[in-house]
Structure 1
Amino acid sequence: MASLKTLTTTPEILDHIFQYLPKPDILRTALTCKTLLPTSLNSLWKTLKPSRDNRYPRPDLKAERIFYDIMTKYWPRSPGIQYTKKIDIGHCLNWNSPAAHTLLELLEDGKLRPSIIELELYGSGAEKLLQRFKKYSESRSLVDFSIRLHATAPFAKLVDLHKVTYLELCYNPPSFGPGFEFQLRSKSLVNTAIVGCAEILRQTPNLTDFKWENGNATMGDDVIELNTIFDKLKILQDVFESFKRLRVLTISGYFFHPSFFLVPPRNVKKLVVTGTLSSTWWRKLAACPLVGLETLELYICDASGSLYADIFPFLADELPTESLRLEDVAVVSLKNFVCDRNRKPLDMYQSFVRRNPMIDLCTKRWALNEKAVKILQEGLELVLRELRKCKIAAINTYIKRFKEGHPPPDEKEFMADFSKLVITNIAGNLPEQLSRLEIRGMNIGDRCREQLQEYLEESINETAGAYAQFEEGKLGITEKKFMEDCIKKLADRVKESEDYVFKAERFVAIPIERFIKRMRLLQHGIIRNMLLKKMEAGDELRMGTVLDIWLQAVNDFEKYDEPEIYATGYNISMSESKDVFMSDPLFCLVNRFFTPPSLVIFSNSVIVSSQAQSPFLK
């Protein structure tokens, strides 16, 4: 264990330890030993960030007044303020609040010298405050200073777009009353937005990171057909093709149309897409080479599905994504692939793994999982397809057993016998007469004739045997009497046969239902995991082998506990993706100063950043 002296001489160790302690405990530690005070203050004051409950005030709210009191009464006099490296104010400031002006005064007076500032300013007068932040930023070295501002001021007046390297654009269509013409609103709005986006991007040729953010908004664009905006989208596509330095492209939310696929520039290394997209979009993705792309992340809802039928009526005839089979993909350079597994085309993972040898291990496992699921579904369909034939065979078997006086078997014995019957049937080894029973269109009269002829022969023989010792005409024996007795015995035999059939049918019904239920319960947990292990070991899986494993598990069902049965296979975590533009009411700017050296400014929802060697603010 390290001594106190060692800890005080190596503050890096203490700082690492303090990361795992709550603030009150760090303060108590500082009060116990004077030599620990500097490191404790550094941990306590390194980042100034209001609590979650106080991050969304409006002007004159109590939370903002409390924040202002803390800032004015405690910050200037605290010995820990010298250790502050980052201020994360978030939504805690309004442009006309005393707290915003006090923060600027502390910065301008040099009492507070953070390396990073993050805050958001809203209101028509925010531009004045932004000018003060701009002036302050010019007094600091871009090597050791970064500021991120969210504001509702026109960023083109404050930022040299040519030097911007990081940009976020957020499309916020205005809301109209219920009487507004949807068709007119949609077409004009979307075309204006596309052109505005292209104009902004045309002024940012040095982008290395771009993000489009539209949340879940579809209102205003939902009746637009692709051909009505295709020309404008072509302009936008041409602008993106001109980007030579773009490395990260993120499309979050509705991007003008669910079938519009933005082909990324050749130098993009990471593509993230989140939104409501159609099966046409998936086909375009599969056909695009995506040259040089290393990371692809997809979190997609199906615009072709029934859920969006009213919103996208022009996609009603498209195949739902879950029914689309992705036979092949053109990209060959992927190293990392993440996708929402609940909304994907069939065989998607296998297609990406087959064409991308360097792809990550998780995706390879999901490809095996996808293959196992497909094999199991085919196996279940095969069993269900042959189930009626097997049920008939089982009924015939137990009719015979019951006639011979055998008691019904227990469930385990039945499961074992029925499993063998299923395997035998699928292998094509059932008796010929049983196979004939299942021929569709087979005349039921022919089957009944065979059975009745057998019963009639037995009835005649039995009656003839009983009457053989009597001469004709004695004891009232006549042909009519003989016929009547034969018919009676035939009826008794048919009735007896019906009783055995009913008994056999009633007996097999419940066990067969449990048999299928067990197969389904085992399908996605235990059996899939068994197949995955075999495939990972390089074993070749044939349907006969799969069914042997599966049906053996059905017979051993009792030995599995519930967590095993309901297991879902691999527990693979998926990363999550996270962020118009200034064309008056539609777009806002975010200005942010990146390090090192960089400067960014951003309004309401657009983030811009630059890696220039000098301030890019005009």
Structure 2
Amino acid sequence: MASLLTIGAIRELSYEILQYLNPSDIFSLLLTCKLFYPVCYQSLWSTLRLYDKAKINDRGRICYKLARLINTRGVDNTGVGHIRTIMLHRYSLTCTNGFVRSSFIHILETLLASGKLNLKHLELRYNLSWHTDSEKEELFGFLRHVREYSRRKQPDEFSMAITANPIFLEPGMHIQVLDIEKITSFDLEMDWQYNGYETDERQHAYSSGSGAWEDSDSDFTDPGDDAHGLDDDGEWPRTVSEQPNASEGLRPSNIQIDTSQYNTRLAGILTHLLSQAVNLKFLTIRSIRDGGRRYTDFKLSPPLKSLQTTIKSLPKLHTLTIQGKLFHPSFFIAPPESARVVNYDGVLSNRWLREFRECPFTNVTHLNVNFRKDNYERGKGCRDFRRRLVNYVQSSGLLRCDVEGFDTIAPDLGLCILRGNRGLDELSRKKLSKGADRPL
């Protein structure tokens, strides 16, 4: 067995071991032996988390300590030169947080401009807040310094991970301070309680009929033609003109109708944003708040079609995750051919399932789907939430697959995935066959 002296003498091995230790353990190891000191010291400075992970709203106390340390000892007598990753949190870019008030924000600006900071990655919660013009300029000034630094680097030299509500990333002043091409990870939070659409746009969608909103399945042809499955024409969602009206006892005035699918402004923002993210590797789109409104039948509009095409065209995307509602439970997003891992999680409809089964998931090896129960019966506003057979799936190259809750909407889905993907590992096969109507 190798001794600590042997491990400490091999820096590559030491770095590998440190990947499994938290900062406090690394600091303890740093104190044990002179051989471990350099590698532990460098590791402690390499990733700068500007907040306490256990207390994310700590008002930036770490920033005050770092600013005092650097101002007292000077840059050259600290480990600033080892910093490669900086992680900010949701309160960092607000005028009341310690990142700003401690002036550590200006220290980083100076380091970036002088070249003394060789930053490789920035994790940023894009959530700006200011009260005066000077505070606004202070926050945007930092982002402009990051942008200038980013433009001097190649995509393999610098990257960013951004968490944000996409409504605040629309084309304009905000987006101009981010180098979108350097973003490798997007975590987009869809706040559906935010009034991001115009009233006249919503009214236009209801009054213009099928001419304005295309039914994506209007020319759908299915080889299975199973009258009891998802191919039953009677189960296709209705056009706008067929929506429930006052004569059917459902008046628009006394029922909350979900109109997220008509939010063309948000669809346009997402399309514009993702079309520029040519180096994006990880994309997560998730709902953080969603009101309990009833869904109407889905109409695939041109803006939503453009969004589908944009995501499917991302050239370097490795992992696609959709959590919760994305405009409508029937809105299916197919992964690009570059994707290897795909995750869907939410209240998903029959129409969504039809698109899912036709998707070949080319090059996808890991697929996870969680069909959540419609606890609020929000699907009762349309006819697209019924238990139906799938009959087949197009995917054929999966190595791992975990599908939860499929028996509530498509009882034969597990069996169909098993039939089409003979290379699945044993655990996946066991889980999928558990809910199958008949043995494989």
Normalised-by-shorter TM-score class: 0.5 to 0.7
For 2:113, the equivalent position in structure 1 comes to: 108
For 1:474, the equivalent position in structure 2 comes to: none
Size of the aligned set, in residue pairs, is 361
**Alpha carbons 1:217, 1:253 under 8 Å: kept:** no
Give the Å deviation of 1:11.
Answer: 2.5
For 2:53, the equivalent position in structure 1 comes to: 52
Give the Å deviation of 1:247.
Answer: 5.3
2:129 corresponds, among 112, 123, 127, to: 123
Residues 115 and 3 of structure 1, relative CA distance in 2, 3 Å threshold? same
2:322 corresponds, among 251, 266, 282, to: 251
Q: Tell me, in whole angstroms, the C-alpha distance in 1 between the residues paired with 2:176 and 2:33.
A: 52
**Alpha carbons 1:164, 1:204 under 8 Å: kept:** no
Per-residue CA distance 1:52-109 (angstroms, 9 max, x = gap): 1443345xx7676456445644683645444333332334633541221223234434
Residues 252 and 36 of structure 1, relative CA distance in 2, 3 Å threshold? closer
Give the Å deviation of 1:143.
Answer: 4.3
**Alpha carbons 2:318, 2:340 under 8 Å: kept:** yes
Q: How does 1:509-588 map to 2 (within 5 A)?
A: none
Matched, 1:312 2:379: yes
Point out where structure 2 has 5 or more consecutive residues left out of the alignment.
131-135, 200-252
Q: Tell me, in whole angstroms, the C-alpha distance in 2 between the residues paired with 1:262 and 1:28.
A: 47
For 1:87, the equivalent position in structure 2 comes to: 86
Q: Tell me, in whole angstroms, the C-alpha distance in 2 between the residues paired with 1:188 and 1:260.
A: 9
For 1:370, the equivalent position in structure 2 comes to: 435
1:226 corresponds, among 276, 282, 297, to: 297
Counterpart residue type for residue 381 of structure 2 = F
Q: Tell me, in whole angstroms, the C-alpha distance in 1 between the residues paired with 2:26 and 2:62.
A: 25
Percent sequence identity over aligned pairs: 23
Q: How does 1:244-393 map to 2 (within 5 A)?
A: 248-265=319-336, 268-303=339-374, 307-309=375-377, 311-315=378-382, 318-319=385-386, 323-341=387-405, 345-370=410-435
**Alpha carbons 1:205, 1:242 under 8 Å: kept:** no
Root mean square deviation of aligned Cα: 4.2
Q: How does 1:335-484 map to 2 (within 5 A)?
A: 335-341=399-405, 345-370=410-435
Q: Tell me, in whole angstroms, the C-alpha distance in 2 between the residues paired with 1:279 and 1:40.
A: 54
TM-score by length of 2: 0.65
Give the Å deviation of 1:258.
Answer: 1.1
For 1:39, the equivalent position in structure 2 comes to: 39
Give the Å deviation of 1:352.
Answer: 0.6
Q: How does 1:95-244 map to 2 (within 5 A)?
A: 96=95, 97=100, 98-120=103-125, 122-123=128-129, 125=136, 126-139=139-152, 143-148=156-161, 154=173, 156-158=175-177, 169-173=188-192, 175=194, 186=259, 190-201=263-274, 203-204=275-276, 206=278, 209=281, 211=283, 213-219=285-291, 222-228=293-299, 230=301, 232-240=303-311
Higher helix share: 1
**Alpha carbons 2:406, 2:414 under 8 Å: kept:** no
Counterpart residue type for residue 376 of structure 2 = Y
Give the Å deviation of 1:350.
Answer: 1.7
Counterpart residue type for residue 136 of structure 1 = Y
Q: Tell me, in whole angstroms, the C-alpha distance in 1 between the residues paired with 2:189 and 2:338.
A: 24
Give the Å deviation of 1:130.
Answer: 0.8
Point out where structure 1 has 5 or more consecutive residues left out of the alignment.
376-534, 536-618
Secondary structure at 1:171's aligned position in 2?
strand
Q: Tell me, in whole angstroms, the C-alpha distance in 2 between the residues paired with 1:155 and 1:80.
A: 32
Secondary structure at 1:261's aligned position in 2?
coil
Point out which structure has higher relative CO (alpha carbons under 8 A, 6+ apart).
1
Give the Å deviation of 1:337.
Answer: 1.3
Secondary structure at 2:333's aligned position in 1?
coil
Q: Tell me, in whole angstroms, the C-alpha distance in 1 between the residues paired with 2:117 and 2:69.
A: 14
Secondary structure at 1:357's aligned position in 2?
coil
Give the Å deviation of 1:254.
Answer: 0.7
Q: Tell me, in whole angstroms, the C-alpha distance in 2 between the residues paired with 1:247 and 1:133.
A: 25
Residues 71 and 150 of structure 1, relative CA distance in 2, 3 Å threshold? farther
Per-residue CA distance 1:474-495 (angstroms, 9 max, x = gap): xxxxxxxxxxxxxxxxxxxxxx
Q: Tell me, in whole angstroms, the C-alpha distance in 2 between the residues paired with 1:24 and 1:256.
A: 43
Give the Å deviation of 1:241.
Answer: 5.8
Give the Å deviation of 1:246.
Answer: 5.4
Q: Tell me, in whole angstroms, the C-alpha distance in 2 between the residues paired with 1:167 and 1:291.
A: 22
